[in-house]
């Protein structure tokens, strides 16, 4: 695996493949890799001739300095995992390489900026689109792979690609879970054993909603789902919503749009998100 730290070297290196007519697949990550990230790389390798993974903890998308400072960075282990899986290129830039100037980025993605994650993490998607646009511009991938785990982010990137008319095929990859149902996340390492156990309720509440979707009205279902989060002082629910899969607007009637349940909550000090398609 070739490890590249500068933009110039990356574009020169990828140009040689492009000139040979090879397809380039791209998996952007913030590192602390787990099976969820690796499943994206596996799909990338199946679809594309050359696989590029980036690891960059993007400061502009963090809302709290402590979340940024405490973000896990096991880079040696990440390199080992990517090498084992046969990743072709790892792009591993420093912050100064990606943000050499004090730049402004004013792209607004529309309502997705304000709904759900947008409401609880103001400015988050501005930071996400800022870095993803830079990385897309640099890698110029034929295919880009994103996880359904961050479903709102997936929709935001879809809109970014459409708004800037980028020639990139976006691929959504299924959520990879632990045996107990907890969605894999780099932040899970911050959970202690007891919190990990408690965090199972996220998956259980989503599953409950999916299994009972046909049996209750939406309001009733939401009430029942929220009750999962009431009995433990360590659990703080931010939102549990049933939304339209395309717009993420809350849905009131099941037959009008396809539904997805989305949740964000704190388990102890750690904020977790998850979701599940309902039809
Ligand atoms: P991150 O490093 O958290 O920015 O995530 C990088 C990519 O991996 C994003 O497209 C995520 O949606 C995806 N991802 C993270 N966790 C999972 C998971 N459990 N299953 C599938 N994809 C995931």
Mean pLDDT for all residues in the chain: 97
Q: How far is the CA of 256 from the centre of ligand 1 (A)?
A: 30
Q: Is 150 in the pocket of ligand 1 (CB under 6 A)?
A: yes
Q: Is 251 in the pocket of ligand 1 (CB under 6 A)?
A: no
pLDDT tens-place string over residues 54-68: 999 999 999 999 999
In the chain, which residues have pLDDT < 70?
none
How does DSSP classify residue 88? S
Q: Is 40 in the pocket of ligand 1 (CB under 6 A)?
A: yes
Q: Is 78 in the pocket of ligand 1 (CB under 6 A)?
A: no
Distance CA(246)–CA(237), nearest Å, equals 24
In degrees and rounded to multiples of 5, residue 84 shows phi and psi of: -55, -40
Is the pTM higher than 0.75? yes
Q: What is the pLDDT of residue 253?
A: 81
| 147 neighbors 29 (Cβ within 8 angstroms) | no
**Which atom of ligand 1 lies closest to the CA of 186?**
3
Q: Is 184 in the pocket of ligand 1 (CB under 6 A)?
A: yes
Q: What is the pLDDT of residue 256?
A: 78
Q: What is the pLDDT of residue 254?
A: 82
Q: How far is the CA of 152 from the centre of ligand 1 (A)?
A: 12
DSSP assignment of 26-69 equals EEEE-SS--HHHHHHHHHHHHH-SEEEEEE---GGG-SSHHHHH
Q: What is the pLDDT of residue 168?
A: 98
Q: Is 60 in the pocket of ligand 1 (CB under 6 A)?
A: no
Q: What is the pLDDT of residue 257?
A: 84
Ligand 1 atom 11: residue of nearest CA: 147
**Residue in 34, 37, 64, 215 annotated catalytic:** 37
Distance CA(57)–CA(68), nearest Å, equals 8
Ligand 1 atom 10: residue of nearest CA: 146
Q: Which residues contact 162 (CB under 8 A, 6 or more apart)?
A: none
- Catalytic status, residue 37: yes
In degrees and rounded to multiples of 5, residue 175 shows phi and psi of: -75, 130
Q: Is 25 in the pocket of ligand 1 (CB under 6 A)?
A: no
Probe target for ligand 1 pocket from 31, 36, 153, with the most ligand atoms within 8 Å of CB: 36
3-state secondary structure at position 116 = coil
**Which atom of ligand 1 lies closest to the CA of 184?**
19
């Amino acid at each position: 695996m070739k490890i590249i730290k500068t933009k110039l070297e990356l574009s020169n290196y990828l140009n040689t493949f492009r000139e040979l007519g090879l397809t380039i697949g791209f998996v952007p990550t913030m590192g602390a890799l787990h099976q969820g990230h690796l499943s994206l790389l596996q799909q990338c390798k199946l679809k594309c001739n050359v696989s590029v993974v980036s690891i960059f903890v993007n400061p502009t998308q963090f809302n709290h300095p402590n979340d940024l400072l405490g973000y896990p960075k096991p880079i040696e282990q990440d390199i080992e995992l990517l090498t084992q899986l046969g990743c072709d290129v790892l792009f591993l830039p420093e912050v100064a390489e990606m943000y050499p100037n004090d730049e402004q980025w004013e792209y607004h993605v529309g309502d997705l900026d304000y709904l759900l994650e947008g409401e609880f993490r103001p400015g988050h998607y501005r930071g996400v689109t800022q870095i993803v646009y830079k990385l897309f511009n640099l890698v110029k991938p034929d295919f880009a792979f994103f996880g359904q785990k961050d479903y709102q982010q997936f929709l935001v990137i879809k809109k970014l690609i459409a708004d800037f008319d980028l020639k990139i095929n976006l691929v959504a990859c299924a959520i990879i879970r632990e045996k107990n149902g907890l969605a894999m996340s780099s932040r899970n390492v911050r959970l202690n054993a007891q919190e990990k156990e408690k965090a199972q309720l996220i998956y259980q509440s989503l599953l409950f909603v999916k299994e009972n979707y046909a049996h209750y009205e939406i309001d009733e279902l939401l009430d029942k789902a929220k009750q999962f989060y009431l009995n433990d002082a360590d659990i703080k629910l931010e939102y549990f919503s049933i939304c339209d899969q395309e717009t993420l607007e809350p849905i009131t009637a099941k037959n009008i749009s396809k539904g997805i349940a989305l949740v964000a909550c704190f388990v102890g000090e750690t904020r977790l998100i998850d979701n599940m398609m309902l039809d």
